Amino acid sequence: MTAASTETDRTTAPHQRRSAAIFAALAIMVVAANLRPAVVAVGPLIDDIKVSEGFSSAAAGLLTTLPVLFFGLVAPIAPRIAARFGIERTVFAAMALLCAAILLRWVPSWFALFAGSALAGVAIGICNVVLPALIKRDFSHRSGLMTGLYSMTLSGGAALAAGLTVPIDSAVGENWRVALASWSLLALLGLVLWIPQLSRVHRISTAALPASLWRDKIAWAITIFMASQSLIFYTFTAWLPEFLGDRGMSKAGAGGLLALAQTVALLMSLAAPIVAVRFRDQRAVTFVAIAACAIGFIGLVTTEQLTVLWVLLIAVGPGAAISLVLLFMVLRSSSTAQTSQVSGMAQSVGYCLAAIGPLAIGALHDATGSWTLSMSVLALALIPLAGSTLIAAKDSKMPV
């Protein structure tokens, strides 16, 4: 081998590694963009679905509850699937399932509607668990930035679903089934972009979750934080359009405001971890976001003025919190395997608890007819969110 060719190898190898890392980051972000639309798209169409199918608010809330419930149910087995088949193949299979699940809701049957929602929850739940472990493994030197980009695209997908679902519905002749099924195109894009990652096979450790982690206060604080922020996000997203409709706002206007709120959440999800990672202790940053959310809820339920401002302030909370909890999983863990384990624990318990939200708030509205009371009860989830912050955001590590 000549000196020239040796020098070429030395210069191109790092370039190729950088290119591969950039494309991997892009693929992760596009997959992340698919982890909210299947759920969020239901909210702007909830009235049409209720009328078409004769559902009560509680039954309609089940469409949002089912995916979140399956996020939690599948979380404990996701690491084992990734250990058996590799992270890259697991994500690919999950994206294929998500495409099929979204298309299943096109079938004119209430059973297909609920089955598609449940299967979408399975697919998204798998990605929810294994992607943070992938970030921990491949981007640990840029954990704040990559966590911010990942959570930003989570919120970006939600914003797209909130803002475009009603226009898509209008464009297809107000056929809500077609409007919901249209989000399979984004899932298909994620599936195609993930194909190059299949040349790599990385497996998550199958080591059993140490009993100490289930007894560890940091792991439980992260879990409670996860449950609280998820409950607020999915419940508020599910019922905000109907809440705004009862206040006289049009379906398009309500969908537009929901999209604007998701855009604020997107910006917060990008900024929060980038700012927070600069500090060894993230409690102050987290409490600022929680305070903004609390002010928003107080304004929303006490006055009908400045509704846009209150909604946007509420969006600050879950927008920042989703990226912060992912950051906590990375910063508070001692290894990639432990990141996967605490991610599985937090998402399993957290999402199962959060799944109660849309159904319970819908049932409370059916019983009382009051969205003011219902939103006030939802705001109480800020209490455990704030309490768990004291431990989850503190500079400390879980035991190995």
- Joined together, the tokens standing for residue 22 give 């950039």
Average pLDDT over residues 325-340: 80
Average pLDDT over residues 235-261: 87
CA 138 to chain centre: 21
pTM: 0.78
Percentage of the chain lying above the pLDDT 70 cut: 89
Cα 372 from Cα 393, distance rounded (Å): 31
Q: What is the pLDDT of residue 3?
A: 44
Q: What is the pLDDT of residue 128?
A: 87
Q: Is residue 2 part of a domain?
A: no
End-to-end CA distance of the chain: 46
Structure confidence by residue, pLDDT tens digits, 147-187: 778 877 887 888 888 889 989 999 998 899 999 999 999 99
Given a cut of 80, whether residue 7 has pLDDT beyond it is no
- Joined together, the tokens standing for residue 306 give 């400045």
Q: Are 213 and 342 in contact (CB under 8 A)?
A: yes
CATH code of the domain containing 154? 1.20.1250.20
H/E stretch holding 388 reads helix 382-392
When divided into structural domains, the chain yields a total of: 1
Look up the domain containing 384 and give its range.
9-203+210-392
68, 21, 197, 351: which is closest to 343 by C-alpha?
Answer: 351
Q: What are phi and psi of 42, to 5 degrees?
A: -70, -40
Q: Is residue 78 part of a domain?
A: yes
- The dihedral over CA atoms of 386, 71, 149, 45, expressed in degrees to the nearest 10, equals -90
Q: Is residue 276 part of a domain?
A: yes
Average pLDDT over residues 377-398: 93
Helices (H) and strands (E) in the chain, counts: 19, 0
Average pLDDT over residues 251-276: 87
Structure confidence by residue, pLDDT tens digits, 252-261: 888 889 889 9
Given a cut of 50, whether residue 20 has pLDDT beyond it is yes
146 or 243: which leads in pLDDT? 243
- Joined together, the tokens standing for residue 96 give 């294929």
Q: Is residue 398 part of a domain?
A: no
Three-class secondary structure of residue 332 per DSSP: coil
Given a cut of 60, whether residue 14 has pLDDT beyond it is yes
Q: Is residue 397 part of a domain?
A: no
Given a cut of 90, whether residue 294 has pLDDT beyond it is yes
Given a cut of 60, whether residue 208 has pLDDT beyond it is no
Q: Is residue 246 part of a domain?
A: yes
Least confident range from 17-31, 153-167, 260-274: namely 17-31
Q: Is residue 101 part of a domain?
A: yes
Structure confidence by residue, pLDDT tens digits, 121-142: 999 999 988 887 777 666 766 6
279, 193, 118: which is closest to 288 by C-alpha?
Answer: 279
Q: What is the pLDDT of residue 238?
A: 84
Cα 87 from Cα 96, distance rounded (Å): 14
CA 70 to chain centre: 13
Q: Is residue 159 part of a domain?
A: yes
- Residue 318: C-alpha distances to residues 73, 218, 268 (Å): 22, 20, 9
